[in-house]
Amino acid sequence: MRLSVGGVDRTFSPEALVVIGYAGRDRAAVEHHIDELAALGVPRPSSIPLFMVFPPRLVSQAPSIEVAGSHTSGEAEIVVVVDGDEVFVTVGSDHTDRALEEVDIVASKAVCPKPVAASGWTADAVGDRWEDLSLRSRIDGDVLYQDGSAAANLHPLELVAAIPWAARPPGCFVAFTGTVPVIGDIRPSAGFRAELDGPGLPPIELSYRAETVPELAV
Protein backbone atom coordinates (compact mmCIF):
# COMPACT_ATOMS: atom_id res chain seq x y z
CA MET A 1 0.00 0.00 0.00
CA ARG A 2 1.30 3.46 -0.91
CA LEU A 3 0.40 7.01 0.06
CA SER A 4 1.75 10.30 -1.22
CA VAL A 5 2.08 12.45 1.91
CA GLY A 6 3.26 16.01 1.47
CA GLY A 7 4.78 15.11 -1.88
CA VAL A 8 6.68 12.15 -0.43
CA ASP A 9 5.71 8.60 -1.40
CA ARG A 10 5.33 6.28 1.58
CA THR A 11 5.03 2.49 1.36
CA PHE A 12 3.20 0.43 4.00
CA SER A 13 2.85 -3.28 4.66
CA PRO A 14 -0.29 -3.55 6.80
CA GLU A 15 -0.81 -6.70 8.82
CA ALA A 16 -4.53 -6.16 9.43
CA LEU A 17 -7.56 -4.21 8.25
CA VAL A 18 -10.07 -3.01 10.84
CA VAL A 19 -13.51 -1.73 9.85
CA ILE A 20 -15.30 0.18 12.61
CA GLY A 21 -19.07 0.41 12.31
CA TYR A 22 -21.78 2.25 14.22
CA ALA A 23 -19.29 4.95 15.20
CA GLY A 24 -21.73 7.85 15.42
CA ARG A 25 -21.22 10.35 18.24
CA ASP A 26 -24.98 10.58 18.97
CA ARG A 27 -25.83 7.23 20.59
CA ALA A 28 -29.58 7.83 20.26
CA ALA A 29 -29.18 8.40 16.51
CA VAL A 30 -27.08 5.23 16.24
CA GLU A 31 -29.80 3.24 18.01
CA HIS A 32 -32.41 4.73 15.68
CA HIS A 33 -30.32 3.68 12.68
CA ILE A 34 -29.98 0.17 14.09
CA ASP A 35 -33.76 0.01 14.47
CA GLU A 36 -34.19 1.16 10.85
CA LEU A 37 -31.82 -1.54 9.65
CA ALA A 38 -33.55 -4.15 11.81
CA ALA A 39 -36.79 -3.35 10.00
CA LEU A 40 -34.99 -4.29 6.78
CA GLY A 41 -33.74 -7.53 8.27
CA VAL A 42 -30.22 -6.39 9.23
CA PRO A 43 -29.26 -8.00 12.58
CA ARG A 44 -28.26 -5.87 15.57
CA PRO A 45 -24.46 -5.49 15.94
CA SER A 46 -22.75 -7.44 18.71
CA SER A 47 -21.15 -4.26 20.06
CA ILE A 48 -21.33 -0.48 19.58
CA PRO A 49 -19.03 0.61 18.05
CA LEU A 50 -18.56 -2.62 16.15
CA PHE A 51 -14.92 -3.59 15.48
CA MET A 52 -14.37 -6.01 12.58
CA VAL A 53 -10.91 -7.27 11.62
CA PHE A 54 -10.06 -8.59 8.14
CA PRO A 55 -7.01 -9.64 6.13
CA PRO A 56 -5.07 -6.67 4.71
CA ARG A 57 -5.38 -8.11 1.20
CA LEU A 58 -8.86 -6.54 1.06
CA VAL A 59 -7.27 -3.08 0.85
CA SER A 60 -7.24 -2.00 -2.79
CA GLN A 61 -5.71 0.95 -4.61
CA ALA A 62 -6.63 -0.33 -8.06
CA PRO A 63 -8.88 1.78 -10.34
CA SER A 64 -11.53 -0.96 -10.26
CA ILE A 65 -12.68 -3.77 -8.00
CA GLU A 66 -14.56 -6.97 -8.79
CA VAL A 67 -17.75 -7.84 -6.93
CA ALA A 68 -20.36 -10.57 -7.16
CA GLY A 69 -23.90 -9.50 -7.97
CA SER A 70 -25.49 -6.10 -8.42
CA HIS A 71 -26.27 -5.45 -4.76
CA THR A 72 -23.01 -3.91 -3.51
CA SER A 73 -22.31 -0.27 -2.80
CA GLY A 74 -19.58 1.99 -1.47
CA GLU A 75 -19.52 4.44 1.41
CA ALA A 76 -16.92 7.11 2.09
CA GLU A 77 -14.92 6.81 5.31
CA ILE A 78 -11.99 8.45 7.03
CA VAL A 79 -9.17 5.91 6.98
CA VAL A 80 -6.35 5.89 9.53
CA VAL A 81 -3.08 4.13 8.74
CA VAL A 82 -0.97 3.30 11.78
CA ASP A 83 2.67 2.39 11.12
CA GLY A 84 4.55 2.01 14.37
CA ASP A 85 4.59 5.42 16.01
CA GLU A 86 3.45 7.20 12.85
CA VAL A 87 -0.20 7.87 11.99
CA PHE A 88 -1.57 8.89 8.59
CA VAL A 89 -5.01 9.88 7.35
CA THR A 90 -6.69 9.23 4.00
CA VAL A 91 -10.10 8.40 2.56
CA GLY A 92 -11.51 5.01 1.60
CA SER A 93 -14.73 3.26 0.67
CA ASP A 94 -16.20 0.52 2.84
CA HIS A 95 -17.68 -1.32 -0.14
CA THR A 96 -20.34 -3.71 1.19
CA ASP A 97 -22.62 -6.48 -0.07
CA ARG A 98 -26.03 -5.12 0.94
CA ALA A 99 -27.90 -8.39 0.37
CA LEU A 100 -25.50 -10.32 2.60
CA GLU A 101 -25.62 -7.51 5.17
CA GLU A 102 -29.19 -8.57 5.99
CA VAL A 103 -27.84 -11.95 7.10
CA ASP A 104 -24.32 -11.30 8.45
CA ILE A 105 -22.82 -7.83 8.83
CA VAL A 106 -19.21 -9.01 9.14
CA ALA A 107 -19.48 -11.32 6.13
CA SER A 108 -21.01 -8.51 4.05
CA LYS A 109 -17.83 -6.49 4.60
CA ALA A 110 -15.45 -9.40 4.09
CA VAL A 111 -16.60 -10.26 0.55
CA CYS A 112 -15.77 -6.85 -0.94
CA PRO A 113 -12.43 -5.09 -1.51
CA LYS A 114 -11.90 -1.82 0.37
CA PRO A 115 -10.65 0.92 -1.98
CA VAL A 116 -8.26 3.47 -0.45
CA ALA A 117 -6.95 6.72 -1.95
CA ALA A 118 -3.32 7.12 -3.03
CA SER A 119 -2.65 10.32 -1.07
CA GLY A 120 -2.96 11.34 2.56
CA TRP A 121 -1.98 13.58 5.44
CA THR A 122 -0.08 13.00 8.64
CA ALA A 123 -2.23 13.03 11.77
CA ASP A 124 -0.04 15.89 13.00
CA ALA A 125 -1.05 17.94 9.94
CA VAL A 126 -4.71 17.51 10.92
CA GLY A 127 -3.89 18.62 14.45
CA ASP A 128 -7.02 19.68 16.34
CA ARG A 129 -9.14 20.06 13.19
CA TRP A 130 -10.62 16.54 13.09
CA GLU A 131 -14.18 17.77 13.60
CA ASP A 132 -13.74 20.22 10.71
CA LEU A 133 -13.08 17.45 8.20
CA SER A 134 -15.77 16.83 5.56
CA LEU A 135 -16.65 13.62 3.72
CA ARG A 136 -18.42 13.55 0.37
CA SER A 137 -19.12 10.91 -2.23
CA ARG A 138 -20.71 10.87 -5.68
CA ILE A 139 -22.20 8.08 -7.77
CA ASP A 140 -23.58 7.68 -11.29
CA GLY A 141 -21.23 10.27 -12.69
CA ASP A 142 -21.83 13.36 -10.55
CA VAL A 143 -24.80 12.59 -8.27
CA LEU A 144 -24.09 13.69 -4.69
CA TYR A 145 -24.50 10.58 -2.52
CA GLN A 146 -22.97 11.59 0.81
CA ASP A 147 -22.08 14.97 2.30
CA GLY A 148 -21.33 15.16 5.99
CA SER A 149 -18.98 16.23 8.75
CA ALA A 150 -16.55 14.10 10.71
CA ALA A 151 -17.97 15.77 13.81
CA ALA A 152 -20.96 13.42 13.55
CA ASN A 153 -18.73 10.46 14.42
CA LEU A 154 -16.52 9.56 17.34
CA HIS A 155 -12.94 10.83 17.03
CA PRO A 156 -11.02 8.57 14.61
CA LEU A 157 -7.90 8.38 16.77
CA GLU A 158 -9.97 7.55 19.85
CA LEU A 159 -11.66 4.76 17.92
CA VAL A 160 -8.30 3.40 16.76
CA ALA A 161 -7.00 3.49 20.34
CA ALA A 162 -10.10 1.55 21.47
CA ILE A 163 -9.63 -1.40 19.07
CA PRO A 164 -9.80 -4.46 21.35
CA TRP A 165 -6.70 -6.31 20.18
CA ALA A 166 -6.35 -9.73 21.77
CA ALA A 167 -2.58 -9.20 21.90
CA ARG A 168 -0.37 -6.18 21.23
CA PRO A 169 -1.41 -4.25 18.08
CA PRO A 170 0.29 -5.11 14.78
CA GLY A 171 3.14 -2.87 13.72
CA CYS A 172 1.11 -1.56 10.79
CA PHE A 173 -2.63 -1.65 10.26
CA VAL A 174 -5.38 0.17 8.37
CA ALA A 175 -8.61 1.29 10.08
CA PHE A 176 -11.86 2.50 8.50
CA THR A 177 -13.37 4.76 11.17
CA GLY A 178 -16.98 5.45 10.17
CA THR A 179 -19.13 6.95 7.47
CA VAL A 180 -21.79 9.66 7.08
CA PRO A 181 -25.43 9.15 6.00
CA VAL A 182 -26.34 8.74 2.35
CA ILE A 183 -28.64 11.16 0.59
CA GLY A 184 -31.74 9.17 -0.29
CA ASP A 185 -31.60 5.37 -0.34
CA ILE A 186 -28.52 3.17 -0.20
CA ARG A 187 -28.03 2.09 -3.81
CA PRO A 188 -25.39 0.54 -6.07
CA SER A 189 -23.38 2.39 -8.69
CA ALA A 190 -20.76 1.26 -11.17
CA GLY A 191 -18.66 4.34 -10.39
CA PHE A 192 -17.89 5.76 -6.96
CA ARG A 193 -15.97 8.89 -5.99
CA ALA A 194 -15.09 10.06 -2.49
CA GLU A 195 -13.41 13.16 -1.14
CA LEU A 196 -12.03 14.13 2.26
CA ASP A 197 -11.08 17.73 2.94
CA GLY A 198 -10.47 20.14 5.78
CA PRO A 199 -9.36 23.73 6.35
CA GLY A 200 -5.79 24.33 5.24
CA LEU A 201 -5.41 20.76 3.97
CA PRO A 202 -5.18 19.58 0.35
CA PRO A 203 -8.26 17.51 -0.57
CA ILE A 204 -7.84 13.74 -0.79
CA GLU A 205 -9.74 12.08 -3.61
CA LEU A 206 -10.65 8.47 -4.38
CA SER A 207 -12.25 7.17 -7.55
CA TYR A 208 -12.94 3.59 -8.59
CA ARG A 209 -15.33 1.37 -10.52
CA ALA A 210 -17.11 -1.74 -9.30
CA GLU A 211 -17.08 -4.41 -11.97
CA THR A 212 -19.58 -7.25 -11.57
CA VAL A 213 -18.30 -10.70 -12.47
CA PRO A 214 -20.47 -12.63 -14.96
CA GLU A 215 -23.54 -14.19 -13.34
CA LEU A 216 -25.02 -17.62 -14.02
CA ALA A 217 -28.51 -18.20 -15.33
CA VAL A 218 -30.91 -19.63 -12.75
* pLDDT for res 204: 98
* pLDDT for res 32: 77
Residues, the chain: 218
* pLDDT for res 28: 85
| Domains observed in the chain | 2-210 (3.90.850.10)
Return d(Cα 141, Cα 120) in angstroms, integer. 24
* pLDDT for res 152: 92
Return d(Cα 155, Cα 153) in angstroms, integer. 6
Q: In this structure, what are the phi and psi dihedrals at residue 106, rounded to the nearest 5 degrees?
A: -65, -45
- Residue of 77, 68, 76 whose CA lies nearest to 97: 68
Return d(Cα 164, Cα 120) in angstroms, integer. 25
125 within 8 A of 113, measured Cβ to Cβ: no
Residue 121 makes CB contacts below 8 A (sequence gap 6+) with: 5, 6, 88, 89, 90, 201, 202, 204
* pLDDT for res 10: 97
Count of C-beta atoms within a 10 Å radius of residue 83: 19
Statement: the pTM of the whole predicted model exceeds 0.75:
yes
Return d(Cα 97, Cα 78) in angstroms, integer. 20
* pLDDT for res 158: 96
| pLDDT tens across the length of the chain (218 residues) | 999 999 999 999 999 999 999 998 988 888 877 887 777 777 888 889 999 999 999 999 999 999 999 999 999 999 999 999 999 999 999 999 999 988 899 999 999 999 999 999 999 999 999 999 999 999 988 999 999 999 999 999 999 999 999 988 999 999 999 999 899 988 999 999 999 999 999 999 999 999 999 888 87
